[in-house]
Structure 1
């Protein structure tokens, strides 16, 4: 087993960080480009946002299948195959000339993008000692945040300089470098033991997890928070590129540096979990999301940025806690329980734009915030229900 020291640990962990960076950079590269895509193809804001949401949708659905498939066929080979698939589809996007083809390619890309997130932790579980696994997972998740920021910066700066096609080509070149390093650095699986692939087992595990009230509430909390949070960013790009702000794409892309407060929120959630119950932390995170959304209504650029910093902190405080709580409360098939959480998470992201668009069309950003708070209020109720449901077994045990 790989210990949390030495070159083998660091080359394997670095490979997974690089792969994670590549995946999430490709997921989010289109977000600062949305106004540019809308103008270039003469389409609506909702249609432009679909270039992002279709990717998160196919990514979310595919997560359910890669884990069991890797149990049968192995870890490294599937991760490499999917990362090469991501690189090829990104390269193809640079040459697309019609919006329907852009959507098709982004949908296919989402299928490939799911490979590494679904398998990476399972690979580490096979090869790393428990202590090394805990260290490596924390470092690996940091690659998610850096990839999200990096992809948006590439999209914003290169897109403004040379247009969306150039942004996709640069992203493809970055991806090629990343997948080459990944292939070279990641050690071969030494402890992998194949298990038969059974669709019936997947369906049985899904049914098991959905019948667990605690898990179902966590899935809904994570899914509906991301449903709003990530799509707020899509619409705020249109706000900031219009008067009176008139920011260019590269400056709008800098807005995604607010994600750094999410890193703080994720770390803070672990410390808070030792002080107050985790469902209460989810309540706190959702309250911060409501406050941050209201702050953006003040209208100045500085208050919009402040509101987004608050939103990122609140969202990742809630998300990291919900994800951890799923793992803690899954009685069996923990990997599939976590995968199902991510399915709700990414499918939520892919649907939120359709919900917010009528608010945007009717009254602009202020109505987007109103629609957001309506959903966040429902999530807040779900967190309170989760607190009640989570206490019941403890109360019943104490009474006996």
Structure 2
């Protein structure tokens, strides 16, 4: 197996991080362009936000297809082919004749973008030993964040001078160059063993996860939190493009640098979970998300940016805890349990516009904040319910642990007299 810090480890990790960056570069490039799309195509804010929603929804569906498919035909080919198709589709998006065709191509692109996230960690699990896997996954998730930031910053900066088409063309060209590097870097799979795909077994595993309330709570928490978090960014671009801010696409793209607060939140999540339960950390992250959302009501841009940074920190803290909670509590088929979490996660992102749009029309950004708090109050309740459930399970299991400790003490005390008696007998024999 590939060991940590070896030449093969560096090649594979760099390739998968590059692939991850390219996926999210393409996924999020339209987000700072939404106000420009609304004006260029004469559509509503809800329709413009579909450029993001249709791709995240189709990505969620792809996770359920590519994961099982990779078990049968291999993973490297899926990653290479889907990344190449994603780059070609970004180039094609630069030349679409109308908004309807743009949405169709974005839906197709979202589906092929699901290829690498669905199988990358499984590829690592096949080829890496445990220390190498743990080290690589942390870098891989960091690349997710950087790709999301890069797509938005590049998209906004290029669109301000060259328009929407130039943004898609630039990202498409960068992706195709990146795919060539990815193709070259990724080592050949050595330990992959194809398994026959059985639909009935896969379906039974998914149904079992959905019937587990501990897992379902985490699924709902992750999906609903992402519904609010990612779509707040979409609507804040509409707000900041209007008076009195009137920010251009370049500055709207730079707005997403506040995502770096999420990088910090996910990094610190492990430390926080050492002294607090995972659901308590989820609840704390949601409270931060509610607090940051309140700050965005300010009319001052620095406070709005501070609020978005706090939002990113709180969201990614809760997301890290929820996703690891799923891996910890899935009794079997952990791969499908984690994939199902991502399905809820991206489905939530795709449905956020349907929830927020009526509030936006009724009360503008204040309506978006109100709609956000309503959902976040529900996810906070889920986190607290998970916390209370974990405390109850700990209380039930504590007597068993106490009995185990007492048995250990009894065994130790039972052996102690024998030792002491043998020691006491020896002086008497000497006498």
Q: TM-score, normalised by structure 2?
A: 0.92
- SS of corresponding position for 2:246: coil
Question: Does the 8 Å contact 1:153/1:250 carry over to 2?
Answer: yes
Unaligned 5+ segments in structure 2 are: 401-431
Alignment partner, residue 127 of structure 2:
127
Unaligned 5+ segments in structure 1 are: none
State the shift of 1:61 in Å: 1.4
Alignment partner, residue 235 of structure 2:
235
State the shift of 1:203 in Å: 1.0
Larger Rg: 2
Question: Does the 8 Å contact 1:155/1:167 carry over to 2?
Answer: yes
Alignment partner, residue 258 of structure 1:
258
1: distance between equivalents of 2:101 and 2:220? 32
Within 5 Å, give how 1:185-204 maps onto structure 2. Answer: 185-204=185-204
State whether structure 2 residue 72 is matched by structure 1 residue 81: no
State whether structure 2 residue 166 is matched by structure 1 residue 139: no
Alignment partner, residue 308 of structure 2:
308
Alignment partner, residue 216 of structure 1:
216
Deviations 1:63-102 (A, max 9, x none): 0121111000001011111111111211110110111100
- SS of corresponding position for 2:296: helix
State the shift of 1:211 in Å: 1.3
State whether structure 2 residue 290 is matched by structure 1 residue 294: no
State whether structure 2 residue 13 is matched by structure 1 residue 13: yes
Deviations 1:119-143 (A, max 9, x none): 0000000000100000000011111
State the shift of 1:399 in Å: 4.2
State the shift of 1:398 in Å: 2.5
2: distance between equivalents of 1:252 and 1:324? 32
- SS of corresponding position for 2:182: helix
Deviations 1:251-303 (A, max 9, x none): 11101000001010001111011110000000000000000000111211011
Alignment partner, residue 65 of structure 2:
65
State the shift of 1:393 in Å: 2.6
Within 5 Å, give how 1:1-400 maps onto structure 2. Answer: 1-399=1-399
Deviations 1:328-380 (A, max 9, x none): 11111111111000000000000011100000001100111011001101111
- SS of corresponding position for 2:243: coil
2: distance between equivalents of 1:52 and 1:378? 24
After TM superposition, the runs of 4+ consecutive aligned structure 1 residues lying more than 3 A away are none
Q: CA RMSD in A?
A: 0.8
Deviations 1:9-62 (A, max 9, x none): 101100001000000011100000000011110000100000001000000111
Deviations 1:148-198 (A, max 9, x none): 000001110111111111100001001001111110000010000000112
2: distance between equivalents of 1:375 and 1:202? 31
- SS of corresponding position for 1:193: coil
State the shift of 1:322 in Å: 0.5
2: distance between equivalents of 1:25 and 1:199? 33
1: distance between equivalents of 2:388 and 2:209? 19
1: distance between equivalents of 2:271 and 2:330? 22
- SS of corresponding position for 1:297: coil
Question: Does the 8 Å contact 1:214/1:390 carry over to 2?
Answer: no
